[in-house]
Structure 1
């Protein structure tokens, strides 16, 4: 079947194909935009930035963990007064919750995080771990 015969025998017009093709191309636009933002967010080697993970429980900052490329590996156990606990593991420049006594264990399933803006949330314990970077300048201003 030839191309012209296809359009004569169907209800599709020639411009319908162009519109469908444009819609398919535009559907990939968010992928291009978000991948560009991820590459733009990667730190430049010339800038010295300190990466930290901030542990907050019920909105209050409990502790900060320094994340360095060649940092040591250690665990930290956060235990609330009511017996809720989360075991936090830091290994070099990444952090995770390795164990918890919450019911759903979504925080454990989240796995390792290491990029600026990533977070781990344990809703039953109201616990949040968030990665932040600060500029190496004098003011120590946080960059989000």
Structure 2
């Protein structure tokens, strides 16, 4: 069907096209506004904090460009925890404790998540730079 035939049959006036075009254009306004708002928000960085017996020993930055590496914590008694960091996640890969609950916990990546090794009094907690307890993580 040709445009002129459509206009004549539906009795659309020239201003009707202008209004229709304006409404279609206005429907994209929320997309533009939300993308501008999202770009203006500060980026949040995540850090995994290693505490032993309540004292902070080390912190590990968690970022998307972080390469995989391991850190070995050894206490004065010779007990150890092998901590693995990979991009935005951390886990205890191996430990000398008997129950191995900390190893079974697996990867953590969200603010507020923790890994606890009770025999070694070790805690790993993920914290956000803005202090939020929950957040979205980009994989």
Look up the SS of the partner of 1:128 in the other structure: strand
Instruction: Quote the Cα distance in structure 1 between the aligned partners of 2:126 and 2:106.
Output: 14
Matched, 1:124 2:119: yes
Q: Partner of 1:109 in structure 2?
A: 104
Q: Partner of 1:92 in structure 2?
A: 87
Q: Partner of 2:46 in structure 1?
A: 51
Instruction: Quote the Cα distance in structure 2 between the aligned partners of 1:57 and 1:143.
Output: 23
Instruction: Quote the Cα distance in structure 2 between the aligned partners of 1:92 and 1:69.
Output: 5
Instruction: Quote the Cα distance in structure 2 between the aligned partners of 1:69 and 1:132.
Output: 16
* 1:1-40 aligned within 5 A: none
Which of 123, 126, 132 is the matching residue for 1:143? 132
**Where in structure 1 are there 5+ consecutive unaligned residues?**
1-43, 136-141
Q: Partner of 2:61 in structure 1?
A: 66
Note if contact 2:63-2:88 (Cα within 8 Å) is conserved in structure 1: yes
Instruction: Quote the Cα distance in structure 2 between the aligned partners of 1:82 and 1:71.
Output: 31
**Where in structure 2 are there 5+ consecutive unaligned residues?**
1-37, 134-139
Number of aligned residues: 95
Look up the SS of the partner of 2:45 in the other structure: strand
Note if contact 2:72-2:83 (Cα within 8 Å) is conserved in structure 1: yes
Look up the SS of the partner of 1:107 in the other structure: helix
CA RMSD, 1 decimal: 1.3
Q: Partner of 1:15 in structure 2?
A: none
Moved over 6 A (4+): none
Query: How far has the Cα of 1:143 moved from its partner?
Result: 3.2
Look up the SS of the partner of 2:93 in the other structure: strand
